[in-house]
Amino acid sequence: MTEANEQLGDFLRSRRERLTPERLGLQVLRRRRTPGLRREEVASAAGISGEWYVKLEQGRAVAPSPATIDALAKALLLDDVDHAHLKSLARPSHRRSFVRETVPDPVKRLVNSLEHPAYVTGQRWDVLAWNKAASSMLANFEELAMEDRNILLYVLTDPRAKTLFGERWDAEAMRMVALFRSTYDLWAEDPAFTDLISRLRLGCSRFDAWWSTHEIGSAVSGTKTVHHPTRGPLRYEYVTFQANDDPRLKLAAFIPC
């Protein structure tokens, strides 16, 4: 069993347990002791053998075809985001070991030229570049050790983040965990990612409960209200962009509204 196979199995299991027989039009004659569909019901709906589906959920070294993945997505009533993630999990992975990204100088100059908060993260959500406004709003990243400059670590484990997001902290933290999960599943065997998860578990008592749901988020623009320690409540629109120089880099920018 590889970690990648395990993530695929865990994802399938989480989606199976969310469904009820009634949603698939199945007749239930007696009360069930466990929630969700049975494995054989998913297999039947997808047109595959129960034994094959059990192997998938158990994370054994099997390679489902694209047609099988599409059939499973239909059987599990996956939305477009979950369907795309299932496809990614099923693709063979030939990744090298993770290497922390570097930010090209033109991108750094762009970030520093912006008046409002902006920062650049890599695939592991390490904060790689930021401007003064981001330091003022979030944390003084320049004062942190390099291994601590990570937006997930900040939001989930730093008391300043809870103050910053106030009553919306839970929702913001859960949203970020779901966004990160879509990347983590593809790097699940890499020590840099497993170490980050260990630190999040130690630093955030709520993390395990959120992580176990295997939610998958998609990046969208939106609005946030933050509670600045000296300026009070501030409302921002936030947007993210990928860098053409290196698609692994993501620029997050905040605009007052």
Q: In the prediction, which pLDDT does 245 show?
A: 83
Cα 181 → chain centroid: 3
Condensed to tens digits (0 to 9), the pLDDT of residues 70-81 reads 999 999 999 999
Helix (H, G, I), strand (E, B) or coil at 233: strand
Q: How many CA atoms lie within 13 A of 101 on its CB side?
A: 22
pTM of the predicted structure, to 2 decimals: 0.85
Question: 118-121 and 250-256: which strand pairing?
Answer: antiparallel
Condensed to tens digits (0 to 9), the pLDDT of residues 47-98 reads 999 999 999 999 886 788 899 999 999 999 999 999 999 998 888 666 688 9
Long-range contacts of 136-143 (CB under 8 A, 24+ apart): 136/228, 137/164, 137/226, 137/228, 137/234, 137/254, 138/164
Please check whether residue 151 is in contact with residue 129, taking contact to mean a CB–CB distance below 8 angstroms.
no
Q: Is the pLDDT of residue 134 over 90?
A: yes
Q: Is the pLDDT of residue 148 over 60?
A: yes
Tokens of 252: 């997050």
CA 14 – CA 214 distance, rounded (Å): 7
Condensed to tens digits (0 to 9), the pLDDT of residues 91-127 reads 866 668 899 999 999 999 999 999 999 999 999 999 9
Q: In the prediction, which pLDDT does 29 show?
A: 54
Tokens of 60: 């054994």
Q: Is the pLDDT of residue 21 over 90?
A: no
Close Cβ partners of 78 (under 8 Å, ≥ 6 residues apart): 15, 86
Q: In the prediction, which pLDDT does 32 show?
A: 67
Please check whether residue 23 is in contact with residue 77, taking contact to mean a CB–CB distance below 8 angstroms.
yes
